[in-house]
Structure 1
Amino acid sequence: MRQTIVRTLYLIAGIICLILGLIGVILPLLPTTPFILVAAFCFSRSSERLHQYLLNHPLFGHYIRDWEDYGVIPFKAKVIGTTMMLLMVSYPLIFKQFHLGLKAAMTLTILIAMAYVWSRPSEPGKKDQSPGSASS
């Protein structure tokens, strides 16, 4: 019984994330990729059929497989993500008045998110290679 409830909750979360990801294709401020990746994760726990559908999707499948297999975030996605994070956070930080502690927390959160994004490999197979390391 408990397993059925958990699978159902994952399925519902996956459907919601997939819908939000599809809306993000149209709306420029709503990110698509993170929602699709979370949907794939949820479907991997709830519906093998839907998970396979996403893995084999002509537009998203490649990115999902690269993420699941290698933890890859493509360079273009890193640049767009960083740009959007900086744009979205700059306006309130510069032009809005609110507590300095909140501004510091917001800045720290964005810096941590950007550090994580840029720490991921940009291409499959580059997972264990550090910059400047020579291969024999």
Structure 2
Amino acid sequence: MTDRIVKYIHLTLGALCVALGVIGVFLPVMPTTIFLILAAFFFTKGAPRLRQMLLDNARFGPSIQNWEETGAIPRRIKLVSIAMMMSSFIPTLLLRVPPLYLGLQAVLIGIGALYILTRPDA
């Protein structure tokens, strides 16, 4: 692939992540910050000026910079994230999902929670 195509792919993915992040501002079940962190990553190659705009944002810029510098997640966000993962498991139990899917969801939630818990506190 040419550099120009790669740049447009990164730009497109960054724009998609920003759009998902904006949706997350209004929908409590959608995360916002992680999509903006991904957008900053994609904008590194696709649109450095847009990346800088994200970093300069008073609300989200510090979270993006914390993540890029230390991989840190604020303790409150860790707790909320794990609580939401656990609460998403409840409907699976109530709907009597087949054991294979129940087990798969439990393993994936466990892996996600473990990853979050091993990140440093911001």
- Do both share a fold (TM > 0.5)? yes
- SS of the residue corresponding to residue 122 of structure 1 reads coil
Structure 1, unpaired ranges of 5+: 124-136
What pairs up with 1:1-136 in 2 under 5 angstroms? 2-92=2-92, 94-123=93-122
Larger radius of gyration: 1
Quick one: percent identity of the two aligned structures?
A: 34
Instruction: Give the distance between the partners of 2:45 and 2:28, measured in 1 at CA.
Output: 29
* Residues 103-130 of structure 1 deviation map (CA, whole Å, 9 limit, x = unaligned): 101000000000000100013xxxxxxx
- Offset of 1:98 from its aligned partner? 2.4
Q: Distance in 1 between matches of 2:89 and 2:14?
A: 28
- 2: CA distance between counterparts of 1:21 and 1:90? 25
Q: CA deviation at 1:47?
A: 1.0
Q: 1:20-45: CA deviations, max 9, x gaps?
A: 10110111111111111111111112
TM-superposed deviation, 1:13: 0.7
User: 1:64: how far off?
Assistant: 0.3
- Counterpart CA distance in 1 for 2:45 and 2:74 is 25
Q: Kindly tell me the number of residue pairs found equivalent between the two proteins.
A: 122
Task: Give the alignment's Cα RMSD to 1 decimal.
Answer: 1.0
The letter for the 2-side match of 1:68 is E
Q: Give 1 or 2: higher helix fraction.
A: 2
Alpha-carbon displacement from aligned partner over 1:27-70 (angstroms, at most 9, x marks no partner): 11111111111111111121110111111110000000000011
Q: Report the secondary structure of 2:10's partner residue.
A: helix
**Which aligned segments of 4 or more residues in structure 1 are displaced greater than 4 angstroms?**
none
What CA distance in whole angstroms lies between the structure 2 residues aligned with 1:22 and 1:15? 11
Amino acid at match of 1:65: Q
